Amino acid sequence: MADLKERGWTHSEMGQLTIWPMAEDLAMVVADGTRYKADGSMLEPVRACYTICRDAKSWKIVTVSEVDPSFLGPGDLPVKAPA
């Protein structure tokens, strides 16, 4: 996160989500998003892959990894252009 903050990042907005249930309490999520700077300008688009699990009554992130822009990641889902 330090590198992102040094480049001016302040927040991200998520767009397309694709979820693959893997078990009753386990799933993989691919999320497309956009990272923004404080002035509202776009820093960069991002695609991330999350493994999540249900712990009691809430879902928790177990792992997160960023998908390199030259790859589509799991499912070869097309990337939607940021708004």
Give the list of residues 6+ apart from residue 45 with CB closer than 8 angstroms, or none. 32, 33, 34, 35, 69, 79, 81, 82
Query: 25 in a domain, yes or no?
Result: yes
- Note whether residue 60 is domain-resident: yes
* 78 part of a folded domain: no
Structure confidence by residue, pLDDT tens digits, 17-74: 999 999 999 999 999 999 999 999 999 999 999 999 999 889 999 999 999 988 888 8
Domain contains 21:
yes
Counting the structural domains of the chain, the total is: 1
Would you say residue 83 has pLDDT above 70? no
- CA dist 59 and 69 (Å) reads 27
Model confidence, pTM: 0.77
